Structure 1
Amino acid sequence: LAWQNTLAPLRKLRGSATSVPLPLAALSPSKACSPSPGRMAQSLHSLAPPALAGDTKGRQRLLPQLRRAGALSPAVTLRPRRRTCQISATLSHSSGLDSTALIPPSASDYGIGGAALDVDAVTEAELKENGFRSTRRTKLVCTIGPATCGAEQLEALAVSGMNVARVNMCHGTHEWHREVIRRVRRLNEEKGYAVAVMMDTEGSEIHMGDLPTPSAKAEDGEIWTFSVRYFNSPLPDRTISVNYEGFAEDVKVGDELLVDGGMVRFDVIEKIGPDVKCRCTDPGLLLPRANLTFWRDGSLVRERNAMLPTISSKDWLDIDFGIAEGVDFISISFVKSAEVIHHLKSYIAARSRESDIAVIAKIESIDSLKNLEEIIRASDGAMVARGDLGAQIPLEQVPSAQQKIVKLCRQLNKPVIVASQLLESMIEYPTPTRAEVADVSEAVRQRADALMLSGESAMGQYPEKALAVLRSVSLRIERWWREEKRYEAMELPGISSSFSDSISEEICNSAAKMANNLEVDALFVYTKTGHMASLLSRCRPDCPIFAFTTSTSVRRRLNLQWGLIPFRLSFSDDMESNLNRTFSLLKARGMIRSGDLVIAVSDMLQSIQVINVP
């Protein structure tokens, strides 16, 4: 629908309760929506009769007429339908809803366990104190490790803004991870948070084994031994085990060995049976299970590595564990093709038919970049794992690769996480470097859905401070973006696979444009599956998006996407009743005020409503 034609009169809505003239000659107002004293509304319907819906030439004659009349945008098409297709778009404005229709808050509305509206205390306090515009749009993912696995530490991270807790299956046992997951779930139940759980598989790429200590420091010039032998006793001093049995055969004297994407570098100086002697050339911190790559004559050596499976036998055991524990996301390391994603999704569906676990593809290899679009289309989201990616492509290409991945994910409506070494120095120091802050700012400016802490929160000395830096930088860059009115010129291509989805997509695109032009305070979306909330997030509107859903698991998954504030709320197909109830509950908690202007959309009734909070 061509909402541009309605924007001029709609701008007068804030102080007016009069009906809105809609100059759409091809459409007629529905008599069923007659105005009442407290509410003025017009409902517009576009009908495609069955005969016309099946007539290609007829559709070609009708579409130009509708578009000239302003009834359809260039992106809308009429497709063959067996039954009459009705497109309904409602623009309504209210300067004051009938107060008798509002549901008074009950005592349970203020609790958590039996509440009609689930929202975490931090979001509630932020909205009360600072209003809609202060809310952070970029989401934050924290890797949980020894420094943050306790109940108190997890709550501290949630209070500081953690949206997703990541458990890395490279480290720890199933028992340890199970306890962390259950602590996060308990925190959600008791405090009303919607912290999602992401399980990250180890992958079958070449990596180090466990270390006798949480970390080890390699100094310049030191000789270290990388070995494929099995040790019954503790590892000898300056010895590192390697998981790949062909490691000693593949490397050659003179090769350069990169640990964790180049955080530490070694030169291979000698091979003795299963042992490879290396001299440290770039000192740094060695972490357990760090990825290993080796270069020869300036090129990555990957022939044998490319033959390793994407999902190892250990990964399948970990995936079974994740399904059993009901994690929200499973991220797959070193994805080479879309086939792996399809295979995993079918496996999850077969093992747990009621499961709605989302699959995140980690983009961290040359193969991932070669098959980027097909991988992202097949997955439910992507992670830019810059550490390992930087070990396989020249470092100067990593920024452009990141920007390309972020842009493509947004175009295809898939959430994207920027990860690895965001605040690496804060593992040891309480303040970040200026370059790290600039790096975080660039990721926020690119409108990535989420930023992720790895070692900073898993085993760093200042996990809460690192999270606070991400939060403050995100808020500042987002505010600057809005103040400068930097609306992107990015074209969002149509992604719908059905006529009904096309309508939803058009409605969300139009609602986001209207929200920016009318400077509304918030967008409300009522969604059972989360799809329309995701479409709104894709548009990156200026105002926050309140996503109301009946499902606890959908609420958690939406917590990864840009700009969404997810609530759990029981609602019906009656939008008037839903809005009245929502206004009542939010006003009772002090989260909205009378006079706030909101736009409401729903995936039950494909409509747009512009409303002043009574």
Structure 2
Amino acid sequence: MNRTMVTREDGEIWTFTVRAFSSPLPDHTIIVNYDGFAEDVEVGDDLLVDGGMVRFEVVEKLGPDVKCRCTDPGLLLPRANLTFWRDGSLVRERNAMLPTISPKDWLDIDFGIAEGVDFIAVSFVKSAEVINHLKSYIAARCRDSDISVIAKIESIDSLKNLEEIIRASDGAMVARGDLGAQIPLEQVPSAQQRVVKMCRQLNKPVIVASQLLESMIEYPTPTRAEVADVSEAVRQRADALMLSGESAMGQYPEKALTVLRSVSLRIERWWREEKRREAMELPNVASSFSDKISEEICNSAAKMANNLGVDALFVFTTTGHMASLLSRCRPDCPVFAFTSSTSVRRRLNLQWGLIPFRLSCSDDMESNLNRTFSLLKARGMIQSGDLVIALSDSLQSIQVMNVP
């Protein structure tokens, strides 16, 4: 749905249309970007825009145009998602037939591949088939590509096929704004917790997004409820939190980011001080005997780190897999990941607790350790006497030592 940002007023009549306009849009007109819209809606339907931030009631249909009355006013953003409800239920028949990846999306994907992006996020993923199709396309277009595919969980179909989608993807995003337009609002918190938990169990990074600090689009400070919401996402041990409108078009993007960071750091520090280690069962995710060894090493290292109160964990990794396994355990101390791959280093930034560095590693563990000690001491990240546990995926090893 296309329109520049504007505020809707209660009772105003607006025209939703599938027609294209080469000149400026007429007043009170909104373009809808799928052709069957006018046929699918009925008089009396409720249109929810941007996850329910603005609501309209359909009052008249005139060919390609649909006249609607604004019943819940608010700020409407360009390219906002649109859903419609009939008799209290989401109308899904047409939505289910809409392509998850549009023709324009494929052009954007080609651009991303050419530019070497690290992640591509797919909206309204209905099944694992969409993820597998995109991964095959990326591999065919660029055989050396290391692009990760993130599934945005924001529909009923996404929740219905959640496990298969997460297994097929390289990570997930809980897009709560659009999700809240497809399921009852009171179910969004439990859906978020379910996605976060499943991603961690399957060792996939998870991002919590949408409306974290929504009021900071217009105001310099968040509400206390928003701070509590951010705190809960951190307590659920999500890998990342993402701002949307707050940074994309808000008046205080830097302040919003500062608030998000300070609240997250404070809750994580409190979690460590209180030693609130959740007893989550982490199922085996290894697909080979070698991976199983890595998994056992990481589980043991994280447990040792917490019990011994070590100051840092080091992990030397080629593909990033051992670092991700260590992150999955959520140890109390910082985890420094060292890899020779630039793309792996960038990708690891998304995962919980990891501080990645690009470093050419060798099979000589002592040489690797001496180089990392010098690097981190120079940056003030460790100091002489600190207790460290070091892991290596190429050597399948674990060592405990003090920093010289």
| TM-score interval for Structure 1 and Structure 2 normalised by the shorter chain | over 0.9
| Bigger radius of gyration among the two | 1
Q: In structure 2, which of residues 95, 99, 117 is the aligned counterpart of residue 327 of structure 1?
A: 117
Q: Deviations over 1:106-132 (max 9, x none)?
A: xxxxxxxxxxxxxxxxxxxxxxxxxxx
1:274 pairs with 2:64: yes
Of 183, 188, 200, which residue of structure 2 is paired with 1:410? Answer: 200
Three-state SS of the structure 2 residue aligned to 1:576 is helix
CA distance in 2 between counterparts of 1:572 and 1:582 reads 12
Q: Corresponding residue for 2:145?
A: 355
Secondary structure in structure 2 of the residue aligned to 1:535: helix
Cross-structure match for 2:345: 555
Deviations along 1:138-186, whole A, 9 cap, x unmatched?
xxxxxxxxxxxxxxxxxxxxxxxxxxxxxxxxxxxxxxxxxxxxxxxxx
Q: Helix, strand or coil for the counterpart of 2:43?
A: coil
What is the aligned partner in structure 1 of residue 164 from structure 2? 374
Between the aligned partners of 2:134 and 2:202, the Cα distance in structure 1 is 20
CA separation in 2, counterparts of 1:581 and 1:243? 55
Given the alignment, which residue of 281, 290, 300 partners 2:80?
290
Q: Quote the residue 1:578 is aligned against.
A: 368
Which runs of structure 2 are paired with 1:593-608 in the superposition (5 Å)? 593-608=383-398
Shift of 1:586: 2.2
1:362 Cα offset (Å): 0.5
Task: Give the Cα separation in 2 of the matches to 1:241 and 1:469.
Answer: 35
SS at match of 2:93: coil
1:238 shift after superposition: 1.2
Task: State the Cα deviation string for residues 44-93 of structure 1 (Å, max 9, x = none).
Answer: xxxxxxxxxxxxxxxxxxxxxxxxxxxxxxxxxxxxxxxxxxxxxxxxxx
Provide the aligned length of Structure 1 versus Structure 2: 404
After TM superposition, the structure 1 = structure 2 runs for residues 377-388 of structure 1, keeping only pairs within 5 Å, are 377-388=167-178
Give the structure 2 partner of residue 337 of structure 1: 127
Q: 2:41 aligns with which of 251, 260, 263?
A: 251
> Does 2:313 correspond to 1:523?
yes
Match of 2:217 among 427, 431, 446: 427
Matched, 1:443 2:205: no
The 5-angstrom pairing of residues 156-235 of structure 1 reads 208-209=1-2, 211=3, 213=4, 215-235=5-25
1:393 aligns with 2:175: no
Normalization by structure 2: what TM-score? 0.99
* 2:26 counterpart residue number: 236
Query: Offset of 1:254 from its aligned partner?
Result: 0.8
> 1:132 corresponds to which residue?
none
Deviations 1:489-529 (A, max 9, x none): 10000000100000000000000000000000000000111
2:358 equivalent to 1:568: yes
Structure 2 SS opposite 1:532: helix
Q: Report the residue type matching 2:304 in the other structure.
A: M
- Counterparts of 1:432-511 in structure 2, within 5 Å, are 432-511=222-301
What are the within-5 Å matches in structure 2 for residues 539-554 of structure 1? 539-554=329-344
Where does 1:303-318 land on structure 2 (aligned, <5 Å)? 303-318=93-108
Question: 1:581 and 1:267 mapped to 2: Cα distance?
Answer: 65
Deviation at 1:589, TM superposition (A): 3.5
1:302 aligned to 2:87? no
In the TM superposition, what is the alpha-carbon distance from 1:312 to its structure 2 partner?
1.4
**Letter matched to residue 267 of structure 1:** E
Q: Within 2, Cα distance between the matches of 1:385 and 1:589?
A: 36
Q: Are 2:52 and 1:262 equivalent residues in the alignment? A: yes
Per the alignment, in what secondary structure is the counterpart of residue 397 of structure 1?
helix
| Separation in structure 2 between the aligned mates of residue 237 and residue 412 of structure 1, nearest angstrom | 50
C-alpha distance in structure 1 between counterparts of 2:146 and 2:372, whole Å: 27
Q: Secondary structure at the match of 1:542?
A: coil
Alignment of 1:94-109 (within 5 A): none
Cα distance, 1:547 vs. partner?
Answer: 0.5
1:50-69 alignment runs, 5 A limit: none
**Deviations along 1:16-39, whole A, 9 cap, x unmatched?**
xxxxxxxxxxxxxxxxxxxxxxxx
Aligned position for 1:128: none
- 1:318 is displaced (CA, Å) by 0.9
Shift of 1:228: 1.1
Partner Cα separation in structure 1 for residue 136 and residue 38 of structure 2: 37
CA distance in 2, matches of 1:227, 1:233: 15
In 1, distance between residues paired with 2:216 and 2:181?
22
TM-score w.r.t. length of structure 1? 0.65
Q: Secondary structure at the match of 1:361?
A: strand
- Secondary structure of the residue aligned to 1:304 is helix
**Structure 2 residue aligned with 1:591:** 381
Using the TM superposition, give the Cα deviation of residue 588 of structure 1 relative to its aligned residue in structure 2, in angstroms. Answer: 3.2
Q: Secondary structure at the match of 1:422?
A: coil
Aligned-pair CA distance for 1:232? 2.2
Give the number of the structure with larger relative contact order, counting CA–CA contacts within 8 Å between residues 6 or more apart. 1
Cα RMSD for the two superposed structures:
0.8
For structure 2, the 5+ residue unaligned runs are: none
**Residue 571 (structure 1) shift:** 1.4
Task: Work out the CA distance in 1 between the residues paired with 2:9 and 2:401.
Answer: 64
1:348 counterpart SS class: helix
Are 1:612 and 2:371 matched, yes or no? no
CA change 1:416–1:370 in 2 (3 A) is: same
Deviation, 1:581, is 1.7
